Structure 1
Amino acid sequence: MEHPVYVEKQWFRFLWIFMPLLTLFSMGMQIVAGLPLASWGMMSVPIINALVLLMLGCLTIRIDASHLIWSFGWLGWPLWKVALADIQFAESTNTAFLEGLGIKKTTQGMLYNATGKQAIRLGLRNGKTLRLGTQDPQRLLSYITPRLNAS
């Protein structure tokens, strides 16, 4: 991969709050139920929750000379990549509260969002649209827009 000219990392705060609380609640219920501390059920919840945080705990958006790349988590998977030459337009937009956070299909195309309600909407040359959540849409657009014509 080429050296990125733009990088934004967003923490999926909801998961960072919810998953540890779920772990504590689950382990507390297992202790109340009298399960031994080394039981499979006792250990599976924190392991699964750690894997979820590892895979989905943050959203990273990168731009290099030729591609817009975004991925969730520290493993870099799932990862998506769009060539800047395949982007027809980019604009600032907002996400609706009911669309929530995460990776989902919406009426406006795919949404990749980890925090907040701000996003950029990308129109691709193949007719598809997608939205990327961002904390600073104008800054992200300032990196994408000049590269669209240069691609």
Structure 2
Amino acid sequence: MPYRHTQAGTTILVVCLIVAALGAAVMWQRSQAPMILMLVILAAVAVIFHSLTVEIGDNELRWHFGPGLWTYRLPLDDIQSVAAVQNHWWNGFGIRKAPGFSLYNVSGLDAVELKLKSGETRRIGTDDPQGLAAALRSAAHTGG
């Protein structure tokens, strides 16, 4: 496989930890059952989004969050252009629909933008935007 990289979801984990700590403090003070549900949801989010792994191989781009409960696949032939970009902080983290593109991100603002032949645009967050963009360009030329 010509490329495989995993980025830790530092931002999502820190946010989950802060919200969980605040929730636990409220629970300690008031023993409210809804807080337990909130902590369970935060734990699930932390497990699912603790990382983002991106792979190129077998003529496709694949990416998955955390333990890989589901994998996104995109044939390399569907990609029209590739560019390293920076997201705005307000685009958020996780899986998002933003004006003009879909975003898959766990931490940081760097991403690789894929313009597809269908007219769609997807951004995949990474702490290695130059490496991922170069690997995609190379795989497109070699049939990767």
Name the structure 2 match of 1:141: 133
Name the structure 2 match of 1:52: 45
Name the structure 2 match of 1:129: 121
Name the structure 2 match of 1:6: 3
Residues 40/98 of structure 1: CA separation in 2 closer, same or farther (3 Å cut): closer
Provide the rounded CA distance (Å) in 1 between the counterparts of 2:110 and 2:11.
16
Whether 1:71 aligns to 2:71 is: no
Q: Which consecutive residues of structure 2, in runs of 5 or more, have no partner in the other structure? A: none
2:17 pairs with 17, 20, 27, which one?
Answer: 20
Higher Rg: 1
Whether 1:96 aligns to 2:93 is: no
- SS for the counterpart of 2:5 is strand
One-letter amino acid of the structure 2 residue matched with residue 63 of structure 1? I
Provide the rounded CA distance (Å) in 2 between the counterparts of 1:114 and 1:140.
16
Greater alpha carbon shift after TM alignment, 136-145 vs 4-13? 4-13
- SS for the counterpart of 1:85 is helix
Deviation at 1:41, TM superposition (A): 4.8
Number of equivalenced pairs: 143
Identity %: 27
Q: Is the contact made by 1:92 and 1:120 (CA closer than 8 Å) also made in structure 2? A: yes
Provide the rounded CA distance (Å) in 1 between the counterparts of 2:75 and 2:115.
12
Deviation at 1:140, TM superposition (A): 0.8
Q: TM-score if structure 2 supplies the norm length?
A: 0.85
Name the structure 2 match of 1:150: 142
Name the structure 1 match of 2:26: 29
Deviation at 1:90, TM superposition (A): 0.9
Whether 1:106 aligns to 2:103 is: no
Q: TM-score if structure 1 supplies the norm length?
A: 0.82
Greater alpha carbon shift after TM alignment, 12-21 vs 53-62? 12-21
Q: CA RMSD in A?
A: 2.0
